[in-house]
Structure 1
């Protein structure tokens, strides 16, 4: 698949999430999962993340809150790492998760804290 929004989304997705991760995701896609990879790349990354209205840092901060509230651990770990790439500090990520705990419940905050710590440990070990 190649079009302007997909190509822009793919480039940005690789910058934020890491080229290796994105290339593995696309390479491992089969006939069932490929449409979701294409949708995510074009729609999320190409249409929304490339918009000028918010910085990458702000989008990452929003994602930490929303993904924590939705209890999506795999995506949260990925976006915690991306948030560091986009300029958030570990302290700011901690503060965002505390905010989630207050407004979405302590269990969401506890799970999100655990997942963020796992992400930090993986980065520190690399």
Structure 2
């Protein structure tokens, strides 16, 4: 590894913190740690580290699960940051003898994607909250609610392979990594609690994220968790 050779002090500091010290504070599974790591590396478009993480994640995640972390990220991070990562993912999978394309796990179609997405929104955030959001939308801006229901929740959250807990934890990690998304992060902390990820799970996730996103974003996210 070039970093170990050329910057040994930094390598040992970071390696000790990321791979030893913080792991003494978390109780979540190795599988969940990889889901969290993939999510933050996708958000930061860390292609080299992401490729390594995909390779190593194959020990505990199926190829479909790995792909679904990337799919889940697109609506939050945008295609500009994720497009090249599809090729990175595919290259790693092919090198590990995974046949592509993977089987389709979509469960919706063009006729029901909006309704199915809206159902999930109401389940995660509460029917009254979603209805109030719809009713209070300024005239001419309704399309963004429709996009959110049909595209973000309808096209992605309804897919198989990952649980609701997985998907909401991925979203939490993405928003914490992005920073500046406190309103959305606040809503998704509540959604995580509603689908069964308790505060300790979120705090463990932040512990895993800290070396990748730094202290300011970590502490901002922690403050929001502590509101609940």
Scaled by the length of structure 2, what TM-score is found?
Answer: 0.50
Contact map agreement 1:64 1:76 (CA 8 A) in 2: yes
Q: 1:16-67, CA deviations, whole angstroms, 9 ceiling, x for partnerless residues? A: 1111110011111123421111100100111100111210000011111100
**What residue number does 1:45 align with?**
153
Runs of 4+, deviation exceeding 4 Å = none
**What residue number does 1:89 align with?**
198
Contact map agreement 1:61 1:88 (CA 8 A) in 2: yes
**What residue number does 1:124 align with?**
none
Contact map agreement 1:101 1:107 (CA 8 A) in 2: no
The count of aligned residue pairs is 118
**What residue number does 1:103 align with?**
212
The offset of 1:81, in angstroms, is 0.7
Q: 1:50-97, CA deviations, whole angstroms, 9 ceiling, x for partnerless residues? A: 111210000011111100011110111100110011111210100111
Could you tell me how far apart the structure 2 residues matched to 1:112 and 1:9 are? 26
Could you tell me how far apart the structure 1 residues matched to 2:140 and 2:213 are? 33
**What residue number does 2:224 align with?**
115
Contact map agreement 1:100 1:108 (CA 8 A) in 2: no
User: Does the C-alpha gap of structure 1 residues 101 and 32 become closer, same or farther in structure 2, counting only changes over 3 Å?
Assistant: farther
**What residue number does 2:113 align with?**
5
**What residue number does 1:14 align with?**
122
Could you tell me how far apart the structure 2 residues matched to 1:54 and 1:41 are? 19
Scaled by the length of structure 1, what TM-score is found?
Answer: 0.88
5+ residue gaps, structure 2: 1-110
**What residue number does 2:70 align with?**
none
**What residue number does 1:78 align with?**
187
Superposition RMSD in Å:
1.4
| Structure having the larger proportion of residues in helix | 1
Could you tell me how far apart the structure 2 residues matched to 1:28 and 1:53 are? 35
The offset of 1:100, in angstroms, is 2.1
Could you tell me how far apart the structure 2 residues matched to 1:98 and 1:73 are? 18
